[in-house]
Amino acid sequence: MLFVVCVAIVFFLLVSVVPKVVEVFRTSEAELPLLTQLLISGSDFMRQYGVWLAIVVAGAIFLFTRWLRVEANRRRWHQFLLRLPLVGKVVRGSNTARFARTLSTLTASTVPVLEALRISSEVVTNLPMKGAVEEAAVRVREGAPIGARSARAACSRR
C-alpha cells in the first residue's frame, strides 16, 4: 500500500508540479544539469504517455496475478524470490519469524510438538519454505531430533 501511495505521489509531482517549475528554467535560458534534463524528460513522457503506461502496468499486474494462480508457477516465483539478494533475506526472515513465533506460542500452550509443527507450517507463506517445514515435521514424526541439524537438512534439499 505504501508503495502504491509513493508511486501516485511521484506521478502527481511529475505531471503537475514539474511542468510549472520547468517554465522558470526556460525563462532563465541557463544550461541545465543532466539530472534536471532527465527529470524534465520524464515529466514530459508521463504527461504524454502516463495513461497508456498505467494501462500497461495494470494489465501486467492482472496477467501476473492470473499466472500466480497455478501452484507450479507460484512455487517458481517463490523460489525466485528466495534467490534475490535483498528480497530473499526479507522473505526468509519474515517467514522464519512468523513460523518461530507461532511454534513458540503453541508449544508454550502445551500443544503437542507434531501438531504445533503442522499448525506452524500453515503460517509460512513461501511454498519452498513451507515444504521444508512440512518435511521437517515428517522427519520429527519418524524420530529425528527437532534441532537445527534436521531443519537445516530439510531446507538444504529445497
pLDDT at position 67 over 50: yes
Average pLDDT over residues 127-142: 90
Q: Which of 18-22, 63-67, 99-103 has the lowest mean pLDDT?
A: 18-22
In angstroms, the Cα distances linking 21 to 49, 55, 88 are 20, 27, 40
Residue that is written with C-alpha cell 524420530 in the block: 143
Average pLDDT over residues 106-119: 91
Helix 85-108 vs helix 71-83: crossing angle, to nearest 10 = 110
pLDDT at 149: 53
Q: Which of 2-6, 23-27, 65-69, 70-74 has the lowest mean pLDDT?
A: 23-27
pLDDT at 5: 92
pLDDT at 148: 54
> What's the chain's average pLDDT?
87
Helix 34-68 vs helix 18-28: crossing angle, to nearest 10 = 160
Rounded to two decimals, what is the model's pTM?
0.68
8-state DSSP, 32:
P
pLDDT at position 70 over 90: yes
